[in-house]
Structure 1
């Protein structure tokens, strides 16, 4: 009974310990099963759990930032309205990824590789641990860190977000030290377990610097913000789209297919937002919706409605808390005006999940890769950092490079990553088409007219559909509707709050996600009381990183 109880509590608390199995569960020791698996066999399931956390929770976070929203006409969706639902699994997958799926599996990988003198695996383990805790603290704010994996504990003390930011920085620096050791070794076996970078240590080093860039840049509102360090980290991070950190899918069955692909069919209730439509049809930048202002990326990223009479080629979106006014239309002249599902143009119904077909669009394909960090993102971070320093010419260079990098992101041949499919629609975007867009009114034409809004809205486009957690960090740093002091207009032009906030919000936007409901509210309640998590509007309290 003691063995079962201990294991149940650890699992319910989101803490699945591999290293403690023998201590507590030696009655289950199987002589035919490896008790100390190789690190090359532990890394693949850790990598594959990244989409598990990002994509499932991303369905909801994307609503907060208006990547997409619920389509049903007049549907008062909780997350469209910045609310929160007290339920076991909702918005809980990041927690499970961090404490269960990474958890002591990752700790084992780090400890085992140190013991066997495999610094390449140690470096990768530390890099991933830094990334996941950076991601999770930005999502949940205060979380268990130092207590998280202590054996024998039934409750776990939360650390402050400031503490975790410092720990992430420290883990990154340890990872770089081990990468130095790995560079000097021969016979690396990292490629055996690394299906994202295929054992390329140079790319892992760039990933670590990318984590540092995020870590140091997220605190842009503080007096301690160091733009020079942010710029330096960005310059040491991704150098091209070939360095983008992506997770591929084999897509041979349901379990190894893209969560947003047609077969798994998890996008059926949401539709692209009017905000992203305005960004890509040019009206958010120019105030005018016309074909001359249309971004060529729109036909690759968004799905067109059947109508072509609304001035932008049939591209429509939904508003949060309002939905699609034509969602209930089943026939007639207004039927083609319905907002299409993400899987394809003029596609209004979800595909039959019983038929494994490889259609879809952009990142919504069974075998499309899942981006986690990209070169374009690093360039926009660099542009903002230069802008904050008053170095507008350098900011402009990074801004233009970021836009070009996102075109390259769309055009990239992803087949080298386990045969992943391209994400462009039919054909890549020609360079002449890209350059025509760069010369349009959507893009600042020189550094003198460049604004923070130009940078942040182009970054929003580049992260749409995958980087919504970083977009949420950005929107919170700018308190959603802050004005650009240079223009007196909103940084995110035409971004509006939902027509009504959830009743639990006291008319405030969401800033954090509550801890895992099932484990923490059941087993760690005293700690939640200490932190004030039980307050009805806890999720609207501003995070440490965005405060001055």
Structure 2
């Protein structure tokens, strides 16, 4: 694995700094830049920008297509939509995660280890990025990754990686709790250096990973300390200026070379939200007209408003996710009456429609509170007469599918529930009729397979990752 450090000056521009031994008389060369010339705080901002890319870049878009949220209409995205993928599609993500983020974060931790706010933030971001990698690929290099003396790091078991990330997040929380006041951290484009908000995000991230590994009791406990209000959610907020590199990534994609290639169209997610579709999730207590309009991504053009709007904030770790983790895990630990208050709290927030931009001014929306009878056999959330507790969990998972639109939530849930909880999983259709199974993972990057002697034989996309077997 190459040992490089990257500073992202924008989402598309990289400055690369070598970590190799430097020649003598380096100071005689004014054009030679080393990490000694760079304020280590700047490396944090570069890693945060990578984090955005890791959540809304190429592979997350493919995951959204494979989860029934987006459609690939032409060119490369049509091929990927139809499950035809090679290792080449993973190259940029692999490079971003290890060279563009992990190396940078370790540099921040080494240089600023005595500054608890920078240390704690860098640890949470590391857990966020590496957790995405483990989710997408399964076993990955981690314990030996970013170690300068190790050229060929071992691939760690997926479950071990998540356990290591739980320990890292525990350390991050403890570190952030030691921060005195709320220092202004200019490179922190998410929370501005507010340790309280970073602590809440860390707890929600812990809960997310416990859900992925089906440790539901631990997830419930962690989520109790997680993001406590919509205002505390972690977003990337694009800058409203003339620099197109600062735009919302979906807007940027459709405003560039991919116009016409990818969008929502009549995807399964759009059918689920369509008030006129007989199989939609709309009923007497739920009207999704405004949210459907907000989430619609027109493949033919970039637009100023909605989920893919030019300066629309991009959710990373949210109050909605935390509430739905609480709802699911509390119901699993008890029954639907234990999870129902958490779901209704989220619905109350949705009923304010602040999430739906200006579209709520003209389009209908409604999220009335549920009662237990709604999930009883024959209730509005249980027309097929399954057990009431399962009907409740099914609604929670469906809300996760919608609230986590464009993120990895739907892809992760589909794989998590496919074998153990198929009755409550969102019934995502296969994209092509000839397909016989759903994608379960992404393919390791060729650069890693070819350069790392410890790399395993790469499994195909139909092989479940270890935590989902």
Q: TM-score if structure 2 supplies the norm length? A: 0.83
In the other structure, the counterpart of 1:511 is 440
Q: Normalising by the residue count of structure 1, what TM-score does the alignment of the two structures yield?
A: 0.72
> Partner of 2:308 in structure 1?
364
> What is aligned with 2:11?
none
Aligned-partner Cα distance in 2 for 1:267–1:437:
40
CA distance in 1, matches of 2:310, 2:413: 29
Q: What does 1:308-319 correspond to in 2, within 5 Å? A: none
CA shift digits 1:162-203 (9 cap, x unpaired): 210111011001101211221xx36x6443221211221110
Query: Per-residue deviation at 1:520?
Result: 1.5
Q: Which residue of 2 aligns with 1:121?
A: 118
State yes or no: 1:296 paired with 2:289. yes
Give the secondary structure class of the aligned counterpart of 2:42.
helix
Q: 1:178 aligns with which of 175, 179, 189?
A: 175
Q: CA RMSD in A?
A: 3.7
* Aligned-partner SS, 1:371: strand
CA 18–298 in structure 1, closer or farther in 2 if over 3 Å, else same: closer
What displacement does 1:491 show? 2.8
Q: In structure 1, what is the equivalent of residue 300 of structure 2?
A: 349
Determine the C-alpha separation between the residues in 1 that align with 2:183 and 2:286.
50
Residue 532, structure 1, aligned to residue 457, structure 2: yes
**Match for residue 205 of structure 2 among 203, 206, 211:** 211
- The answer to whether the aligner puts 1:544 opposite 2:466 as a matched pair is yes
Deviation sequence 1:239-293 (CA, Å, 0-9, x none): 1111110112224222222221153464531231431122212578867989997
Asked whether the equivalents of residues 287 and 366 of structure 2 are also in contact (C-alpha less than 8 Å), the reply is no
Matches within 5 A, 1:143-292: 143-182=140-179, 185=180, 189-220=183-214, 225=215, 227-251=216-240, 252-261=242-251, 263-264=255-256, 266=258, 268-272=260-264, 273-282=266-275
Does 2:67 align with 1:65? Answer: yes
Deviations 1:129-150 (A, max 9, x none): 1111111100111111122112
Cα distance in 1 between the residues matched to 2:137 and 2:81: 18
**Structure 2 unmatched runs, 5+:** 6-13
2:425 to 469, 491, 506: 491
1:429/1:195 Cα in 2 relative to 1: closer, same or farther (>3 Å)? farther
- Deviations 1:8-57 (Å, cap 9, x if unpaired)? 95459xxx999973634677666696715334322222212222222222
Contact 1:396 1:450 in 2 (8 A): no
Shift of the 198–397 alpha-carbon distance from structure 1 to 2, 3 Å rule, reads same
The whole-number CA distance in structure 2 between the counterparts of 1:189 and 1:138 is: 33
* 2:366 match: 434
Seen in structure 2, the aligned counterparts of structure 1 residues 292 and 212 have a Cα distance that, compared at 3 Å, is closer
Do the aligned residues in 2 keep the contact of 1:143 with 1:160 (CA within 8 Å)?
yes
Note if contact 1:257-1:367 (Cα within 8 Å) is conserved in structure 2: yes
Superposition pairs of residues 454-465 of structure 1, within 5 angstroms? 454-464=395-405
**Structure index of larger Rg:** 1
Relative to structure 1, the CA distance from residue 399 to residue 435 in structure 2 (aligned partners, 3 Å threshold; closer, same or farther) is closer
Distance 1:267 1:275 in 2: 21
Residues 94-148 of structure 1: CA distance to partner in whole angstroms, max 9, x if unpaired? 322210111221101111111xx21111111111111111111001111111221
- Is residue 320–residue 403 contact of structure 2 (8 Å, CA) maintained in 1? yes
Q: Which residue of 2 aligns with 1:137?
A: 134
Confirm or deny: 8 A CA contact 2:201 2:227 kept in the other structure. yes
Q: Which residue pairs with 1:21 in the alignment?
A: 19
Distance 1:59 1:463 in 2: 13
Cα 1:76–1:462, aligned 2, differ >3 Å: closer, same or farther? closer
Q: What is the Cα deviation at residue 204 of structure 1?
A: 0.3
1:246 alignment partner, SS class:
strand
User: Per-residue CA shift, 1:485-512, capped at 9, x if unaligned?
Assistant: xxxxx6324x22233356xxxx332111
Gap regions ≥5 residues in structure 1: 1-7, 304-341, 352-358, 413-421, 485-489
Q: Is the 8 A contact 1:453 1:492 kept in 2?
A: yes
Tell me by how many angstroms 1:378 deviates.
Answer: 1.1
- Report the CA distance between 1:370 and its aligned residue: 1.5
Contact 1:218 1:473 survives alignment (8 Å): yes
Higher-RCO chain (CA-CA 8 Å, sequence separation at least 6): 1
Q: Following the alignment from structure 1 to structure 2, what is the Cα–Cα distance between the partners of residues 138 and 27?
A: 45
Provide closer, same or farther for how the CA distance between residues 120 and 246 of structure 1 changes in structure 2, counting only shifts above 3 A.
Answer: same
Structure 1 contact 142–160 (Cα < 8 Å) conserved: yes
Shift of 1:299: 4.6
CA deviation after TM superposition for structure 1 residue 350, in Å: 2.8
1:143–1:159: 8 Å Cα contact kept in structure 2?
Answer: yes
